[in-house]
Amino acid sequence: MLKYYVLTATAALVFFGLKFLLETFVKADQEKKTWIGKGFSLLLAVFFALRYLSGEIALLDTRGLNLFSPFGIDGKARALTGFSTFTTWGTFAAYTLLVTYPFFKDKIKSLTPLVKFFAAVVYFIDFVTIGIQLCAIGSDIKSYPMTTKEIFFALEVGLALAISASVWQKNAKTKVDLPCVKKCILLALGMLVAAMPVYVLQVFFDVGSKAVVLTDFTVEHRVVLYASFIIPAAMVLLLSKYDYHHKRYALLYISLATMVSYSFKYSFATFTDMTSWPLHLCNTAMFIIPLCLIFKLNKVFYFTLFINVLGAFLAMAMPNIGDDVCWLSVRSTEFWLNHYCAFFMPIVIIALGLYERPKMKLFLYSLIGFAAYYALVLVSNAYLTNIDPDIDFFFINSDFIAEKLGPWAEDLRDFTVTFHLKNGMQMLLYPVYQSLYFLVYVALSFAMWFLYELGFQVADLYVDIWYRNKKINADKLALEVSLAGRNISEPMNMETTNKLVLKNFSKKYATSDVYAVNDANLEIEGGQIFGFLGPNGAGKSTIIKSIVGIQSITSGTIEVCGYDVEKQSVGAKLQIGFVPDHYALYENLTGREYVNYIADLYNVSEDERSARIEEYVDRFHLHGSFDNPIKTYSHGMKQKITIMSALVHNPKLWILDEPLTGLDPESIFQVKEAMKKHAQEGNIVFFSSHIIDVVERICDHIAIIRKGKILCQKSVAEIEESGVALEDFYMSMIEGPEVECTNSVDAATVAAND
């Protein structure tokens, strides 16, 4: 035993000293110092791989701790077996932590205490009990000289202790409080779950002849399948609140830890025997996913997303683990670990935004990759069956899938083609069956595309609902604070109960990097007819839609008669009557039915609505058609119904967006008279139009907007007093330099004369 302690302790001292000297030598160069730490972690990965691939782990054949097993063992052996199982399990988790630590330590601060109090403790236990650990991994500690596996295990433990000691030395003064301890414990437990070796369940819980077989959609099989959907949902919910680096590290750790656990069946001999290569579709996912998280392998990732996920789910639905294999055995655990990860990891990666959602081009790349993979396994199967008749990568060489589909599928295998090779071997292909197999899988991949798209839509819907509910609750709380005990139905700002106010309002659409409206400010008093002018695309409709609540506000606030449009949306809407530039009516209703429907929405009393309806029917000359279906109306008549429905509740703010389009001269006159009457009653009329002379004749004040910026807010009388026609003033503003005008007459005159 002494030789193992000497080698491990010597390795720990040498590596610690070497790391200390190198980091001291490049102390001024932080980047080189960082790469020294990364280099030592990568060296640890090399030592681990060399000892891990040097032979089979002894615990793989252990079932001695099973209380239900008839093959009992004595108490001391039972204790040592249990202890070594736990320590090798902890070593898997600690190793994965140390390998990834230097790449994320600056981004995830909680990794440092994990190295100090978890990885260091695990590897110290490995050092103290190195004889037990060597027996657990399959070494004969009485043999001489030391085997390759023993040497590399000693070097691994020594280097891990050196790395841990270096972290202790650099962070010795860092204080650890109780919340940090709790967080580290939870993280360590999570790491242990991810790094569980495939033999743990068999060692502790294998039930031998009382096995439950997870096939044929038994209750137990269905439960395991349902878990495959619960796991990714839980992971997304758990990780979604963290930033990109935490998400990426968590998924990278899980993928690396499960890859280590899954790789138990590979050794150096595997590389020389092609029949043992991981060419089954889902086997490849265990190695592809970590690579995609380490490097930005876009095309490879989308191959995994579309091809591996589908293959993994089909494999879970039709598991080929044998009818007599216990569900807690190494074989069963390895199968479900492999296919679970191949199924849910790509989905979780997409759901958490580590890779962008797939586009059709990326989907087509995945199909090209699948065609190349299919051709590879097709040729490999046909050739390697000469060496091992049971070789059947992707199940395209045997009738494993065909027998589940029925006699018609098995009949397709009757069409064969044989190629005779020069070395006396032959390659047997099933062209009809294998071609159809490929085409069906491609068709299923297309189905996966539509399922993903549907899933994205559903996810977006629920995320949107969640954010909306969160915002509603936050707005409700903010509203209660702002109202300071007043009734929630009252205006938030009692000083602006007869005003329309925009304060630093900005709007940017999600599909654009440019603001549609930027830092707009307006204050409009009651009793005014306010003209809103600007060229097409200037931002007029964006502001109007935000005022009426059709679209959200990016920043700033809008108040309608004291009601905050975001925090008191219902109260604000009750103050507004809106005539859009493109009306949308329920045309199977009559004009009377539609206007009454709108009156019901605003809780207008029978007496009030009757008086107003009668007034506007008379004003717009709709007596002969008001009780006819709206679909029989002309464009102008429909526009009149829209105006009536906007006024039936006598709103304090009447917004009109190009309301005169399609109206005859008499109707235009009546609309203008209605606007004047509404303003004379102390209300606000907000009028957006391209017809400058109409604005000039009926508006009290105007604002001009250009490229999302409000350039000017002035009274019409002030512009007229300057001796400049409104049309000339407007043209000078939209064609001149982008500067805001002042309220002085001189500035208006200069702007018009430039």
Decide: helix, strand or coil at residue 578.
Answer: strand
Instruction: Calculate the average pLDDT of the chain.
Output: 87
Bond from prior residue into 145 cis (ω within 30 degrees of 0): yes
pLDDT: which is higher, 693 or 529 = 529
Q: In this structure, what are the phi and psi dihedrals at residue 26, rounded to the nearest 5 degrees?
A: -110, 35
Enumerate residues 6+ apart whose C-beta is below 8 A from 285. 304, 308, 312, 338, 341, 342, 345, 346
pLDDT tens digit string along 136-162?
887 766 666 788 888 999 999 999 999
pLDDT: which is higher, 71 or 697 = 697
CB-based burial of residue 510 (10 Å sphere; 0-12 exposed, 13-18 middle, 19+ buried)?
Answer: exposed
pLDDT surpassing 80 at residue 598 = yes
pLDDT: which is higher, 660 or 186 = 186
CA-closest candidate to residue 621, choices 665, 686, 667, 652: 667
Q: What pLDDT band is residue 213 in, cutting at 50, 70 and 90?
A: low
Q: How many other CB atoms are there within 10 angstroms of residue 451's CB atom?
A: 13
CA distance 364 to 617: 61
Q: Is the dihedral of CA 347, 349, 351, 356 positive or negative?
A: negative
pLDDT tens digit string along 278-330?
888 888 889 999 999 999 888 899 999 999 999 999 888 888 876 666 777 88
User: Given 3-state DSSP classes, what are the helix, strand and coil percentages for the chain, each rounded to the nearest 5?
Assistant: 60, 10, 30
CA-closest candidate to residue 354, choices 289, 414, 277, 406: 289
pTM of the full structure = 0.70
What pLDDT score was predicted for residue 25?
Answer: 84
What pLDDT score was predicted for residue 206?
Answer: 65
CA distance 17 to 39: 15
Q: What percent of the chain is predicted at pLDDT more than 90?
A: 44
What pLDDT score was predicted for residue 143?
Answer: 66
Q: What pLDDT band is residue 68 in, cutting at 50, 70 and 90?
A: very low
The type of residue at 423 is N
H/E stretch holding 46 reads helix 30-52
pLDDT surpassing 90 at residue 41 = yes
Average pLDDT (699-722) is 90
Q: What pLDDT band is residue 742 in, cutting at 50, 70 and 90?
A: very low
Q: What pLDDT band is residue 69 in, cutting at 50, 70 and 90?
A: very low
pLDDT tens digit string along 455-475?
888 888 888 888 888 878 887
What pLDDT score was predicted for residue 141?
Answer: 66
Average pLDDT (655-660) is 87
pLDDT tens digit string along 531-586?
999 988 888 999 999 999 999 899 999 999 999 998 888 999 999 999 988 888 99
pLDDT surpassing 70 at residue 200 = yes
The residue whose two tokens read 């001149």 is 736
